[in-house]
Amino acid sequence: MPKIFINNNEIEFKEGMTVLQACELAGVEIPRFCYHERLSIAGNCRMCLVEMEKSAKPIASCAMPAAEGMKIKTNTKMVEKARKGVMEFLLVNHPLDCPVCDQGGECDLQDQSLYYGFDGSRFKENKRLVKDKYMGPLIKTQMTRCIHCTRCIRFATEVAGVSELGAIGRGEDMEITTYLEKSMTSELSGNVIDLCPVGALTSKPYAFEARPWELKKTESIDVMDAVGSNIRVDSYGWEVKRILPRLNNQINEEWISDKTRYACDGLLKQRLDKVYIRKNNQLVESSWDDAINLISLKIKSTSSEKIAGHVGGLSSFETINSFKKFLEEINVKNYEFREKDFYVNSDQKMNYIFNSSIQGIEKADFILLVGANPRHEATILNARIRKTYLKNKLPIFSIGDPGDLTYPYKIVGNKTEDIKKILEGKSEINDLLKKSKNPLIIIGESALELKSGKYIFEGLKEFLYKNKFINEDWNSFNILSQNAATVGALDLNFFNKPNGSGSFFDKINNHNFDLLYLVGSDELNFQKNNEFIIYQGSHGDRMAQIADVILPSPAYTEQNGFFINLEGRLQKAFKATNPIGNAKEDWKIFNLIVDKIKNKNLFTNYKTLIEDSLSKIRENKNIDTLPEPQIKKIHLTSGNFYSEQVLIRPIDYYFSNPVARASKTMSDCRIEKIRNSENRKTG
């Protein structure tokens, strides 16, 4: 490896590194504004100037490639003077409004001016004033503060894949704006707030809410989709003030989607904080004792075939486990986690996870989407596909039309026949697929919802296995789950396997059940008839309205919980705030009911719950690891083929779960999105 001298210390670096990266290897911190490791290099802030031997001028270390034998100095008078000069120029037009700026306390400019700033200003002229730009309901702008690092522009163009931000004018008149001040049409737009090194782009919903040092920070896991992005929950008292991303290169790098970031105000609204019982068609405030009594009486008086349980997509692994244990305790066999009837095969863990792993996407050289819209179903995963596209320029195909995915792809067809052609080796893409080393086949839930769901699933699996695309090193068979609870529920087999008496969904639509126990489940498409509905959850949403008993339980930031993300990675979410009102944790509620009916405890304490839950996770018991590949014992079956249209079920992205529906920010985003699409139609 080549060597470089940094402050007279010799250090080895990798070919292709910049001087700044080499300095970091040597443990020397270089101040910077425009440089960001995940964005292209701009070299326009000049803060990273260092001295290089034989160069008369200081060099911008972020843009200078490191070379063998270079002698860099970062602690000389010249460097200090250069940095002070740059800082003085940056501050020439930067307003002195830190006391009223939301970035205060976490501002790069503030921090660095502490080391390189002068104590007074030599600038006697007028400061420049820039009109604030409208950038949608999420981003608050104060463009006078902008130092033109262009990180936001580079993020929008490169990572988010929407070229909507730009710099107009030049020199002192340069301004950052979206085209004609429209909002950004990206699900990743909130990340520009984290990227902005000053207070020019700040969070609109979080404006003037709190200072960063007064917040309690809890490292946790996101549940808005199945990706399991790593987040930090910042709370003040019982309120969750904001959600920020946490670095995890294996999952979300350092981005999170707008829904993850901004649905948190939904945790303050529409909350169920008291027990309610329906009397004379009205929900009346009640007590836990009354409710538990009523429920146990109802359960005792209803035959167990007439009872069904459904769990929602935001539930933790322990909740589903304790719910299943509770239902088994009262002999109930009708339980389900799916919201729509789609084909699942839970014989092996491989059958319901994203086997290639999110980081593995970067190795891919061929992608086929089957009835999937990763942009809306798993936004962060889509960003990874785009990153791979930019790096490898790989061919991407889709069956079904997912709309704009931020990277170019080709639609092979819209019918199940097109899948059949691939399986029979007659499709136009077969040659390319054969030649590829690491293909990715991503099957979405929309494809599995079809009548041919089984055919598509089993057929593709068999095809890939026989073509050796499922092997020890690479498993190209991927299922794109939509909900945080899906993989966990499948680990627990929390669904009704098809048998003679019709599926769960037929039964529920034919009103075969007399008692429905819903745990955080609001997406079921069903009309109430005479069922007695128990709703246990955190938000007063669709199902709470028709429920007969409402039991309040904590939301995802209010209790510890395990979540298994779509690649089968086990992660733990931590409690950030206390549950509100009279809410009780889910497993404690089940304990209470079982205690009433059978006079015994499901779980004696939290520890036994955790032990029991962890023992039920398949093929992986360690936090933050991927399951071991199980290639040897693959079972192959087949399904019936039907000629069908592959329609990708559109997702109401900003309204996809009860927390998001309660959030004002999400509803603003949704309105903005609708308005934007109408504008586009009219020209």
Binding site for other proteins (CB under 8 A): 163-170, 173, 178-180
**56 vs 180, which CB is nearer to other proteins?**
180
As a whole number of angstroms, the distance between CA 111 and CA 107 comes to 6
Question: Bridge-partner residues for 368, per DSSP?
Answer: 397, 441
Structure tokens at 105: 């306390």
Residue 657 backbone dihedrals phi, psi, to 5 degrees: -150, 170
**167 vs 597, which CB is nearer to other proteins?**
167
As a whole number of angstroms, the distance between CA 149 and CA 34 comes to 5
**168 vs 247, which CB is nearer to other proteins?**
168
What sign does the CA torsion over 468, 471, 474, 477 have? Answer: positive
**169 vs 498, which CB is nearer to other proteins?**
169
Contact criterion met (CB below 8 Å) for 298 and 307: no
Least distance (Å) between residue 169 CB and other proteins: 5
**157 vs 630, which CB is nearer to other proteins?**
157
**500 vs 683, which CB is nearer to other proteins?**
683
The contacts of residue 77 (CB under 8 Å, 6+ apart) are none
Strands 9-12 and 49-52: unpaired
Contact criterion met (CB below 8 Å) for 487 and 481: yes
Structure tokens at 620: 């992986």
Buried/exposed 330-343: b ≥16 CB within 10 Å, e otherwise: bebebbbbbbebbb
**13 vs 155, which CB is nearer to other proteins?**
155
**47 vs 200, which CB is nearer to other proteins?**
200
Per-position DSSP letters for 142-211, written without gaps between them: -GGG-----HHHHIIIIII--TTEEEES-GGG-EEEEGGGPPP--TTTTHHHHH-SSSSEEESTTTTT--
H/E stretch holding 369: strand 366-370
Question: Bridge-partner residues for 519, per DSSP?
Answer: 311, 536
What sign does the CA torsion over 415, 421, 424, 425 have? Answer: negative
CA–centroid distance for 596 within its chain: 39
Least distance (Å) between residue 168 CB and other proteins: 4
Least distance (Å) between residue 153 CB and other proteins: 9
Least distance (Å) between residue 149 CB and other proteins: 16
User: Inter-axis angle of helices 288-301 and 586-598, to 10 degrees?
Assistant: 60
* Beta-sheet strand order (sheet of 439-444): 410-413, 396-399, 366-370, 439-444, 477-480
Helices (H) then strands (E): counts for the chain: 21, 26
Least distance (Å) between residue 132 CB and other proteins: 15
**170 vs 632, which CB is nearer to other proteins?**
170
Least distance (Å) between residue 680 CB and other proteins: 12
Q: Whose CA is closest to 294, among 550, 554, 586?
A: 550
**114 vs 180, which CB is nearer to other proteins?**
180
**112 vs 141, which CB is nearer to other proteins?**
141
Least distance (Å) between residue 483 CB and other proteins: 34
Contact criterion met (CB below 8 Å) for 339 and 445: no
Least distance (Å) between residue 676 CB and other proteins: 14
Least distance (Å) between residue 135 CB and other proteins: 12
**20 vs 176, which CB is nearer to other proteins?**
176
Least distance (Å) between residue 203 CB and other proteins: 23
**83 vs 133, which CB is nearer to other proteins?**
133
Least distance (Å) between residue 161 CB and other proteins: 11
Least distance (Å) between residue 448 CB and other proteins: 36
Contact criterion met (CB below 8 Å) for 443 and 566: no
Burial class (CB in 10 A: 0-12, 13-18, 19+), 533: buried
- Cβ–Cβ contacts within 10 Å for residue 304, how many? 14
Least distance (Å) between residue 678 CB and other proteins: 18
The contacts of residue 533 (CB under 8 Å, 6+ apart) are 515, 516, 518, 543, 546, 547, 548, 549
